[in-house]
């Protein structure tokens, strides 16, 4: 309360708004602000505090800062400087490590919040806990789960920022093309900011066109059909890719593309690679083809032996895409830059290349995250 302060230390206030230089001006300002802020505490002593504040500075109503936090005067009048939010985020890892070191000479990753009869996870060595974290990331590179795991406590945050985990993830995405960190500050920053394809979902492209139907029997009516179809692209961290073109709705197709061993008809399988050329644009090049079917049985061969068999040929498609941002999500858009078909006749070994014109029928792919793709962990990172 105000009785704890030495009122005789404060001197009169002149009408020309100048203090008599016999006291500490800073102390006067702090005290009058404290008294004025304390007015709404209770109704009964509010008039007393108001009068005391007015005696110190009559125009206190125009000088008080209402945007100031209510607990700014706690701690004996010590004020903390406002810190930049970005600086706090950058130093958060070092800050947590320092806190754990100060609290104990042998800091633990975490401590139980409540008493437990069973063994708590904090009893595990750090090496075992880091191995569990690699299982959380899994071979599917579910870094989103790792980021969510870091929100549990300070110790988990430190483990989730382990550079070896993020380095392993970068090596799995870019391989030999990420031996150096420059221009990134950390492996995590490289994984987050460097353009790449995503593995926790599927890229979907929707196209439509109008075609003419058959005439009616009387010849006065001709139908027009609005045709819609989808292209699906599913990338895997091991370099495999699956592509499917079908009119079926994504609701039925997406769950069946969880693994690359899908048995859907017209599915193309292949490999892809990332390329960052001199124009500083990241591109994806894929080579895909239809899986080879099993040879027909002897009965089927003899049955159709009279017919002239078609020459055996292998169809291989070459696809080129440009990685770009789509909306708020990073690396969620793939734009067509190349599409061609290479037909190789096995009898003569001749290869015929047909390049397709990239017209409006080649709509860009947009990424859609699928939670079921990363629901299970089959192998650690």
Enumerate domains of the chain plus CATH numbers. 2-73 (no CATH), 88-193 (1.20.1280.50), 202-295+308-374 (no CATH)
Residue 203 CB partners (closer than 8 Å, separation 6+): 197, 232, 233, 234, 235, 334, 365, 366, 367, 368
Q: Which of 228, 243, 238, 234 is nearest to 339 (CA)?
A: 243
Query: How many CA atoms within 13 Å lie on the side-chain side of 374?
Result: 23
Three-state SS at 1: coil
Here the contacts of 95-99 (C-beta below 8 Å, separation 24 or greater) are 96/154, 96/155, 96/157, 96/158, 97/158, 99/154
Count the Cβ atoms, other than its own, within 10 Å of residue 244. 20
Q: Are 207 and 361 in contact (CB under 8 A)?
A: yes
Angle CA 263–364–266, to nearest 5: 20
For residue 296, what are its two tokens? 């027909």
Per-residue model confidence as pLDDT tens for the chain (381 residues): 444 444 433 444 444 445 444 455 666 666 766 666 665 555 556 677 777 777 777 777 766 665 555 554 444 444 344 445 445 555 676 666 666 665 565 667 777 778 878 888 888 888 888 899 999 999 889 899 999 998 888 888 888 888 899 999 999 988 877 777 878 888 888 888 888 899 989 999 988 888 777 766 666 666 777 888 899 999 999 889 999 999 899 899 999 998 888 888 888 999 999 887 756 788 899 999 887 665 544 445 555 555 656 668 888 999 999 988 777 777 888 999 999 998 888 888 788 888 888 887 888 999 999 988 888 888 888
């Amino acid at each position: 309360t105000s009785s704890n302060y030495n009122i005789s230390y404060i001197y009169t206030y002149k009408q020309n708004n100048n203090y008599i230089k016999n006291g500490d001006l800073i102390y006067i300002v702090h005290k009058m602000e404290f008294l004025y802020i304390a007015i709404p505490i209770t109704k009964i002593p509010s008039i007393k505090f108001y009068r005391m504040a007015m005696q110190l500075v009559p125009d206190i109503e125009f000088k008080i800062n209402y945007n100031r936090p209510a607990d700014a005067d706690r701690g004996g009048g010590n004020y903390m400087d406002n810190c930049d939010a970005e600086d706090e985020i950058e130093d958060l890892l070092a800050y947590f490590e320092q806190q754990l070191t100060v609290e104990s000479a042998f800091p633990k990753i975490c401590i139980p919040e409540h008493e437990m009869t069973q063994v708590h996870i904090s009893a595990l060595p750090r090496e075992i806990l880091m191995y569990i974290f690699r299982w959380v990331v899994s071979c599917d590179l579910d870094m989103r789960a790792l980021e969510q795991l870091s929100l549990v406590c300070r110790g988990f945050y430190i483990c989730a920022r382990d550079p070896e985990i993020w380095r392993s993830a970068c090596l799995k995405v870019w391989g030999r093309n990420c031996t150096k960190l420059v221009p990134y500050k950390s492996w995590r920053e490289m994984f987050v900011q460097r353009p790449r394809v995503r593995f926790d979902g599927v890229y979907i492209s929707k196209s439509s066109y109008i075609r003419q139907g058959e005439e009616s029997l009387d010849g006065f009516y001709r139908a027009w059909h609005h045709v819609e179809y989808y292209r699906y692209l599913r990338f895997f961290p091991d370099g495999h890719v699956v592509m499917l073109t079908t009119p079926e709705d994504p609701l039925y197709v997406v769950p069946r593309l969880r693994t690359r061993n899908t048995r859907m008809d017209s599915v193309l399988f292949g490999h892809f690679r990332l390329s960052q050329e001199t124009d500083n644009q990241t591109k994806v090049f894929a080579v895909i083809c239809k899986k080879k079917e099993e040879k027909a049985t002897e009965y089927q061969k003899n049955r159709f032996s009279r017919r002239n068999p078609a020459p055996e040929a292998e169809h291989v498609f070459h696809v080129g895409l440009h990685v770009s941002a789509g909306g708020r999500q990073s690396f969620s858009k793939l734009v067509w830059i190349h599409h061609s078909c290479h037909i190789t006749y096995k009898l003569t070994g001749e290869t015929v290349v047909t390049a397709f014109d990239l017209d409006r029928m080649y709509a860009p792919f947009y990424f859609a995250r699928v939670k079921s793709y990363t629901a299970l962990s089959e192998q650690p990172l």
